[in-house]
A and B are shown apart, each in its own frame.
Chain A
Amino acid sequence: MVRLGMDAHWRGSMVVARALRDAGMEVIYGGNQMPRNIVRMAIQEDVDIIGLSSLSGNHMMLAPEVVKLLKKEKVHDIKVVFGGTVPPDDIPKLKKAGIVEVFGPGSSLRKIISCIESLKNN
């Protein structure tokens, strides 16, 4: 779980990270990172899923970049999800860019947990 770029809000990412941990998953919390570091960390830690969080509005510039860098590193088994403040119009754009799931404001914790569990098992 990482926060994209300079975004200052940690509440959402922390609450979701904790909920996933309490649901029995191992969560690594990486704080604020730029795409190249996110991908490096993800490969080093051999994660199944990268959770990106941002409320700053930087998602269209940085989230697709994470997917692109993973492809460049020839990593195909790490999935990327995004959560945060995202205008509805951006959701299909993010999905088209390879983000497998997008959780907007007000998303249910249980839905996030079950979505991550099913992504992990697929």
Chain B
Amino acid sequence: MGVKTEIFDKKRFKEIKTKTAKWEANSYSCQKKLKKKYETLSGFDVKPLYTPDDLAGFDYLRDLGFPGEAPFIRGVHPTMYRGRTWTHRQLAGFGPPEETNKRYKFLLQQGASGINGVFDYPTLRGYSSDDPDVYADVGRGGVAIDTVDDMRILFDGIPIDQVSVSLVTCQPICNISMQSMYFANALDRGIPLDRLAGTSQNDFLMETATTIAPGVLPPQASFKVSCDAIEFCTKNVPRWNPISFAGYNYREAGCTAPQEVALVIAHAIACSEEMLKRGLKIDSFANRLSFFLSAHNDFFEEIAKYRAARRIYCSIMKKRFNARDPRSLMFRFHVQTAGVALTAQQPLNNVARAAYHALAAVLGGAQSVHVDAYDEALCTPTELSSVTALRTQQILQNETGVTNTIDPLGGSYFLESLTNRMETEICGILDEIDRLGGLVKAVENGWIHKEIAEAAYKYQWAIENGEMPIVGVNCFKIEDEVLPIELFSSPETLKVQKKKLQIIKKKRNATEVARSLDAISRCCEKNGNLMELMVGAVKSDLTEGEISQALKRVYGVWDPPLF
């Protein structure tokens, strides 16, 4: 703790305190039509007015400091958006890779500065398109990728040595195949791995907690597979962020804002401990741990959330892990505007919602942003809705002037007070996870599932009871609304993917396939690093489904505990 330096004159401070109390009693409280209670989305009390009194004991140098310097609360870069604007990284993926490739090129032509590729439901779950259980979901929610050849088609003609690519692989069982296929394809194109820049999601909570399904990899195995990718990238792909802790998805599943941040930081702690156990030095990998957060409805609470996350993370990496490299102390994050906040009713209202969400992300110092398209509560975004979302980012950056100064809300009595409140709450949850024995244990015993379910249930009843107004849903409704937009229809995918698989399965060398799958099984049994093997193994045209089955045969499967 540094020496306390009061930023307000003591005498004036007393006067402010007395006058505030007087104002509240005489001018404020006598007004009619005031609600009894005002609170944030996560349930923090909000006062009518914030004054210097709320920042008593506040030390500018200790608590805020400067951008690009610890505790990074004002931003991770010294110049922030003056030096480099946030990356406009619009999520895209649908149908077969041939179709998504066209959408990527279209978005890049329209000024998108990075690719954010999402995979279809079967791919995310580790199934190939020809599996009998997946026919209805092939090409839905993302692009279908079955083999390294699909990965070649997906990035055909895109300069992946120049454009940073985010692979939204969600679950480790998907990531181990997809990331390996991506690397194998780059090598095949003659691009060395150290020239690749990007991120993969690779989050074991996605497999075991936020998207519950029967028969997934057990938490410990899923966590291990994700850590294999972190270890591989640390050694071979230095510009790749091998994990993106998917707080966004925890939030979409029902978490509150403080839970969202507590879970991503607890997850970073678990990964760091595992990497240290594997003999890596903290500063060799911590600078590549990256985060993915939501931007939800409560504007100031979201900004406070991002700022608190930076301060807590810096302190944990310093004190708990003795990290020295400033980059290891930085909480760098991507933001997606909250999908759960979108409405199917009056869908064009979502343009306004997503714009407010994006503004919160930018005032909170995000490194990259995806703005949701207005039709996402109804279907996969059309070309028009995707471009409108991208334009929302461009308007924010180029027209509003928000990039002119760094952390413009820093020093606001309300925001700083809310940031402190958020920090206390997050640290409380982190202590609880430590008491439970860490994050993997908290998943195994169902604590996480219970917490998420509880919060989601409370949220829904708040809407139901009208305590949380949602325009178009529980107020300002239009009865018998005629949908004012055209919806997206998925291109034919199942036939295309099945045909390619048939050809590949006929063409490939069966002995080599068997040998590769056998090597994967043995690697699992010996507890070796799977990705080291996989980047080579996928070249023998293994399908994602075959790889997943090999993993499940060794690790077994797990049915998550219900709420």
Residue ranges of A at the interface with B (Cβ–Cβ < 8 Å): 3-11, 14-15, 18-19, 29, 31-32, 34, 56-58, 61-62, 85, 87-89, 104-106, 108-110
Contact = CB atoms under 8 A, between A and B. Distances in A.
B contact residues, range: 35 or more
A11 B340 contact: yes
Interface stretch (B211-219, B223-231, B232-240): B211-219
Interface string B117-147: 0000110110100000111110011000000
Contact of B464 (A3, A57, A61, A109): A109
10 contacts: A6-B122, A8-B124, A8-B213, A34-B133, A61-B135, A62-B136, A85-B379, A88-B483, A106-B343, A106-B344
Interface string B354-388: 00000000000000000000000111100000000
Contact of A105 (B140, B252, B377, B457): B377
Contacts of A32: 213-214
A87 B379 contact: yes
A6 B472 CA distance: 30
Contacts of B461: 109
A108 B94 CA distance: 30
Nearest to B209: A10
Contact of A56 (B141, B343, B345): B141
Contacts of A10: 211-212, 253
B120 to A, nearest CB: 8
B48 to A, nearest CB: 32
B525 to A, nearest CB: 28
Given A7-B121, A15-B456, A85-B378, A31 B133 contact: no
A38 to B, nearest CB: 12
B249 to A, nearest CB: 9
Contacts of A15: 254, 456-457, 460
Contacts of B378: 85, 87, 105
Given A8-B124, A57-B141, A57-B490, A31 B213 contact: yes
Contacts of A7: 121, 137
B415 interface: no
B280 to A, nearest CB: 32
B127 A14 contact: no
B193 interface: no
A90 B211 CA distance: 25
A6 B254 CA distance: 20
Interface of B: 121-122, 124-125, 127, 133-137, 140-141, 170, 211-214, 252-254, 340, 343-345, 377-380, 453, 456-457, 460-461, 464, 470, 472-473, 483, 487, 490, 559, 562-563
B259 to A, nearest CB: 14
Contact of A8 (B141, B344, B380): B141
Contact of B559 (A31, A88, A105, A106): A31
Nearest to A58: B136
Contacts of B473: 106
B515 to A, nearest CB: 30
Contacts of A58: 121, 136-137, 140
A57 B254 CA distance: 21
Contacts of A14: 453, 456-457, 563
A88 B378 CA distance: 9
Contacts of A56: 121, 137, 140-141
A85 B377 contact: yes
B202 to A, nearest CB: 16
A5 B137 contact: yes
Contacts of B170: 8
A104 B344 contact: yes
Contacts of A4: 136
B143 to A, nearest CB: 14
Contacts of A88: 483
A68 to B, nearest CB: 14
Contacts of A18: 453, 457, 563
A3 B460 CA distance: 19
A110 B474 CA distance: 13
Closest 5 CB pairs of A and B: A6-B121, A58-B136, A61-B136, A105-B344, A6-B137
A87 B460 CA distance: 22
A58 B340 CA distance: 19
A14 B134 CA distance: 22
A28 to B, nearest CB: 10
Contacts of A104: 344
Nearest to B490: A57
Nearest to B560: A31
A25 to B, nearest CB: 16
B136 A8 contact: no
A62 B121 CA distance: 15
Given A11-B253, A85-B377, A88-B483, 12 more contacts: A6-B124, A7-B137, A9-B211, A19-B460, A57-B141, A105-B344, A105-B377, A106-B345, A106-B470, A106-B472, A109-B461, A109-B464
Contacts of A110: 464
Among A5, A31, A56, A61, residue most surrounded by chain B Cβ atoms (within 10 Å): A5
A87 B252 CA distance: 21
Nearest to A35: B136
A5 B211 CA distance: 13
Nearest to A65: B136
